[in-house]
Amino acid sequence: MPIVIKGGKIVTNADIYCADLVIENGKIVSIGRNISLEDGNEIDATGRYIFPGAIDPHTHFDLEAGSTITADDFESGTKAAVMGGTTTIVDFVNHVRGERLRDALNNWNRKAKGNAYCDYGFHMTIAEWNEDISDEMKDMVEEGIPSFKMYMAYKKTLQVDDATILKALRRSTEIGGLIAFHCENGDMIDFLVEREKRKGHFSPYYHLVTRPVEVEDEAISRLLSLGKIAEAPVYIVHLSSKKGLEKATRAKSEGQKVYIETCPQYLLLDDSYYGEVGNDDFEAAKYVLSPPLRKKEDIDSLWNGLSNNYIDVIATDHCSFNYNGQKSLGKEDFSKIPNGIPGVEHRLSLMYTYGVLTGKISLNQMVALTSTNAAKIYGMFPQKGTISVGSDADIVIWNPNLETTITASNQNQNVDYTPYEGFKIVGGAEHVFLRGQQVVKNFKLVEENPLGKFIRRHRCQLCK
Ligand code: URP
Ligand code: ZN
Ligand code: ZN
């Protein structure tokens, strides 16, 4: 039965206009004025915005990290996602050296299939290089996984060297893929970690000290050069610093294909969360993520990058670990604290409150940054990322008047803290539709079944 959403203001990356829209069989089937259906449900969206379902292209659900596993799996993570207005996530398949990509993918399929409350895709991580991996990359692209991830940090497990990056970039370009990079120099980090520990420094404050801006800056500079030499597009995940942004922006302005992602934590939280120099309070472990939180000048620069459209995507890098029992694994040694923070639930409300309502970004930019650009870069547009006839009916009816405060106790993420504790937010996802099915009604999850499907993606639609 069709559903008509009436009286709302439709917001895409390019337009804001008042219109009604009809959804049927999972798709948007018409958009127009004063639509009435003889046979169908009507939803009153007066005074509300209608956004395309948000896309979070950077999550880590059900990820093993050392001796522990993320607090959120696909079930809890995607429930939290839809409650916040995110209808598609792209999660990183972990690849262990020596493992076939196919086996890594099977493992992630098993974790996600039948457990996701929003649609999902995968990026394939590549942790080493050999001929089999080169061959398997093509299989991945053909199976709807046209994006890969390489880490320039995490030396013992994931870090790849420059020769590997060059070969992978060339191969990826041949087969229509795109590689996303974690840009931090892992050798510098290990050197600094050893140095601090020798000095007897073991508290989480030293996570900050051992991952200074230079660590990111060097990796971004190197990646840009490698991308240029390989004549390949590159995507920089979770960019956190002014210096890194300046380098990447310059390369873009010179015509290099570079896509830049940042995250709410680098826009809203600063390094004061680690405390004063030498702070030994373990509470700072809640903010152990990589790269670490930065200074006000970095934050200002990132907002400027968003306002000026230098940055393409705001993702979350949701990678949650409980403070009690998980972060505490590093109680005696900061380098053993699992890295990452939660955020998949709060991205839209944070960006609406602290981006749109402060005038730093427009509503159109918010939609572009949280949905449309990721859909294009990661090959899902216009199925996802917009409101147009023929697109999936992934729709968020946004109430701009709701006022709430983020706290650990009212969140849906399955983790015992939130880095945004006490943050006031305005606006919320009042109703959410996933391929035409209402999954959130009056701010509550109403769909008991995990309806999320694997999305076969196509090659990057901006890379040529
Ligand atoms: O600290 C972080 N960012 N953890 C998640 C894994 C990664 O590096 O993206
Ligand atoms: Zn990363
Ligand atoms: Zn990540």
Alpha helices in 143-257 (DSSP H): 162-174, 186-198, 205-209, 213-230, 242-253
> What's this model's pTM, rounded to 2 decimal places?
0.98
Atom of ligand 1 nearest to the CA of 290: 1
**What are the distances in angstroms from CA 444 to CA 68, 397, 412, 431, 438?**
31, 13, 10, 8, 11
For residue 136, pLDDT beyond 90: yes
For 38-84, how does the pLDDT look when each residue is reduced to its tens digit (9 = 90+)?
A: 887 999 999 999 999 999 999 999 999 999 999 999 999 999 999 99
Does the beta carbon of 316 sit less than 6 angstroms from any atom of ligand 1?
no
Ligand 1 binding pocket mutation candidate from 94, 159, 289, 344 (most atoms within 8 A of CB): 289
Distance in Å, CA 237 to ligand 1 centroid? 10
Atom of ligand 1 nearest to the CA of 289: 1
Does the beta carbon of 319 sit less than 6 angstroms from any atom of ligand 1?
yes
Kindly give, in sequence order, each residue whose CB lies less than 8 Å from that of residue 230, ignoring residues fewer than 6 positions away.
Answer: 165, 166, 169, 170, 173
For 375-403, how does the pLDDT look when each residue is reduced to its tens digit (9 = 90+)?
A: 999 999 999 999 999 999 999 999 999 99
User: CB–CB of 79/441 below 8 Å?
Assistant: no
Does the beta carbon of 239 sit less than 6 angstroms from any atom of ligand 1?
no
For 230-288, how does the pLDDT look when each residue is reduced to its tens digit (9 = 90+)?
A: 999 999 999 999 999 999 999 999 999 999 999 999 999 999 999 999 999 999 999 99
Does the beta carbon of 340 sit less than 6 angstroms from any atom of ligand 1?
yes
Does the beta carbon of 182 sit less than 6 angstroms from any atom of ligand 1?
yes
Q: What is the percent of the chain with per-residue pLDDT over 70, rounded to a whole number?
A: 100
Does the beta carbon of 339 sit less than 6 angstroms from any atom of ligand 1?
yes
For 178-197, how does the pLDDT look when each residue is reduced to its tens digit (9 = 90+)?
A: 999 999 999 999 999 999 99
DSSP labels for 55-106?
EEEEE--S-EETTEE-S--HHHHHHHHHHTTEEEEEEEEP--TT--HHHHHH
The pLDDT confidence band at residue 316, using thresholds 50, 70 and 90, is very high
| pLDDT for the residue 464 | 80
Tokens, residue 236: 């920089």
For 342-380, how does the pLDDT look when each residue is reduced to its tens digit (9 = 90+)?
A: 999 999 999 999 999 999 999 999 999 999 999 999 999
Q: What is the percent of the chain with per-residue pLDDT over 90, rounded to a whole number?
A: 99
